[in-house]
Amino acid sequence: MEKKKTPRLKEKYINEIIPAMMKEFGYKNKMQVPRLVKIVVNMGVGEAITDIKIMDKAQEELAAITGQHPVLCRAKKAISNFKIREGQPIGCKVTLRRNIMYEFLDRFMNIALPRIRDFRGVSNKSFDENGSYNLGIREQTIFPEIEYDRIPRLQGMNITIISNSKTVKESLGFLRLLGMPFQQ
């Protein structure tokens, strides 16, 4: 049996980022260094209320982007102002872990982000108190897996990068070393 190849970003983490973080933050043990836990890619599809085919297409696109089948998210409560009933499908999400997570993050940072028009870097203020990073994207066409001619409509998504870092400063340094292009 052939052994699976380690993702490029994971090798970079093991060989370069762990020693750099230990030096920068004064960690005594390499197990103290922050690491990626998971990446959650979420697509809210409000128009699926009127046409369920839009939700099917969104799931298909999210599966092509992430390489994993998305889970359908349903409304928890009925909201009459938005014409939503309880249990109606309103979005889809994918939780990436292990090697798939590293592959997706590598493709996202090095291929998809530079394809955004007038891209000057991502905000460095989108961290929550746990050190998780949230990023919103307006259209799915920045990913090379999506064919522009075959999409019925532009669809945004939210990407959450969750690490086990204790502070925002650690998380910012960690993502910067991984290669996330932050604004100057």
Tokens 């990446």 correspond to what residue?
A: 39
Q: Which of 50-54, 120-124, 132-136 shows the lowest per-residue confidence on average (mean pLDDT)? A: 50-54
> At 90, is the secondary structure helix, strand, or coil?
strand
pLDDT at 32: 84
Q: What does residue 73 show for φ and ψ, rounded to 5 degrees?
A: -105, 130
Contact yes or no for 101/107 (Cβ under 8 A): no
Looking at residue 78, its amino acid is: A
Average pLDDT over residues 38-44: 88
Q: For residue 100, which of 2, 12, 9 has the smallest C-alpha distance?
A: 9
Q: Is the pLDDT of residue 49 over 70?
A: no
Contact yes or no for 67/100 (Cβ under 8 A): yes
Between 53 and 1, the higher pLDDT residue: 53
What are the tens digits of pLDDT across the range 65-95? 888 888 887 777 777 777 777 777 778 889 9
> At 157, is the secondary structure helix, strand, or coil?
strand
**Residues 61, 45: Cα–Cα separation, whole Å:** 12
pLDDT at 91: 82
